[in-house]
Amino acid sequence: MTMNVVTWIVIWGAMAMAAAAAAGVVAGYKNRDYSFWIGWCFLFPPLLVVLLLLPRFEGERPRRPSLDEEDKNWY
C-alpha cells in the first residue's frame, strides 16, 4: 500500500486545520493574540508545541491597533 502525493496533502491539511483550531483555544487560554497563533500554526503545525511551552500572560490580552490607528501615525 503506497501513499501518493494527494494522500500526503490531505494528511497535512487535516493536521494544519486541527493545529490551527487547537492554537486558537490554547492562545485564548494563555491570553495571547489568537489570530496570530492560528495563522502561524496553520502554516507550521509544529508551532503549537512552542505555544504550549510559552507562559500565560497575566492581565489584559494584548490588542492590535485598528487600521485607523495605524494609518493615523503613518504620515
Is the confidence at residue 10, as pLDDT, over 70? yes
Is the confidence at residue 47, as pLDDT, over 90? yes
Q: Name the grid cell of 16.
A: 494544519
pLDDT at 66: 79
Residues 6+ apart with CB under 8 A from 48: 19, 22, 23, 26, 41
Residue with cell string 487535516: 14
Predicted structure pTM score? 0.76
In 3D space, the residue among 61, 15, 66 whose CA is nearest the CA of residue 23 turns out to be 15
In 3D space, the residue among 25, 70, 71 whose CA is nearest the CA of residue 52 turns out to be 25
